[in-house]
A = this chain, B = another copy of it.
Amino acid sequence: MPPDDPLPSRLSSDVYAVLRRQIVTGELRPNQPLIELDIAERLQVSRTPVRESLQRLAHAGLVVPRKRGWAVREFTPDEIRQNAEVRMALEGYAASLAALRGSPSDIAAIVAIHERRLNLRSSDEAMRVKTNRDFHDAIMRASGNPRLTDAIYHSGQFYFNAPIARVTTGEELALGNADHALIVAAIKKRDGPAAEKAMRAHIQRTFALFWRVTGLAEPLDVRQE
């Protein structure tokens, strides 16, 4: 949830941001116990903000309670598959809403980003990552539903562990622009169901690729319909 207010800076928010990043990038390994005092000293704060940020992380599902204290949550391949399905549900619906009621300028923005991406030189990895993110963001924005956007954002943090962090940034890039083109076409035609279907298929293919790249066991039943 990107705050729209000039939020008062609070240490626990900073600590949360740092820990979140370290967990999602895998710097803090799954099942690693989180020692409050270590973190506090590392970040030069007292235990209070650390504990408060751990509460948030727990609610976010990134850390799990132990008998005492907390540990970085480990996700199984199956849980990652489950999460992919959540994304298919949410982002698919966002695409459908974008098609059905995105404003002309919303849709122009989507098209523009897509086309910029088509003209990218294949070597420009960073730019491909950025435009991919922009593409998905633009669709969420066009959905006209900030809470939906929020939910998608929240569901997007569960791909760490193992080599996942690296892959999920790279993943979708390798798929080429064919998927995106299908989505754009459906949105331009204001065809909600088609946009939804295309987006779901896109996410599904992304994860199929993901299993291949990571070498993790592919959970059963990824396929649908």
Contacts and interface: CB of A to CB of B under 8 A. Distances in A.
Given A56-B55, A56-B58, A5 B65 contact: yes
Contact of A59 (B10, B56, B94): B56
Interface string A30-58: 00000000000000000010011101101
- How many copies of this chain sit in the oligomeric assembly? 2
A89 B7 contact: no
Contacts of A147: 79, 82-83, 85-86, 158
Contacts of A48: 48
A221 B144 CA distance: 10
A81 B151 CA distance: 14
A124 interface: no
A145 interface: yes
Nearest to A10: B65
Interface in A45-99: 48, 51-53, 55-56, 58-61, 65, 67-68, 79, 82-83, 85-86, 88-90, 92-94, 96-97
Contacts of A67: 8
Interface of A: 1, 5, 7-8, 10, 12, 48, 51-53, 55-56, 58-61, 65, 67-68, 79, 82-83, 85-86, 88-90, 92-94, 96-97, 100-101, 144-148, 150-151, 155, 158, 192-193, 221, 224-225
26 contacts: A8-B65, A8-B67, A8-B68, A10-B65, A12-B55, A51-B52, A52-B52, A53-B55, A55-B55, A55-B56, A59-B59, A79-B147, A82-B146, A82-B147, A83-B147, A85-B97, A85-B147, A89-B89, A89-B92, A97-B224, A100-B224, A100-B225, A147-B158, A151-B151, A151-B155, A192-B224
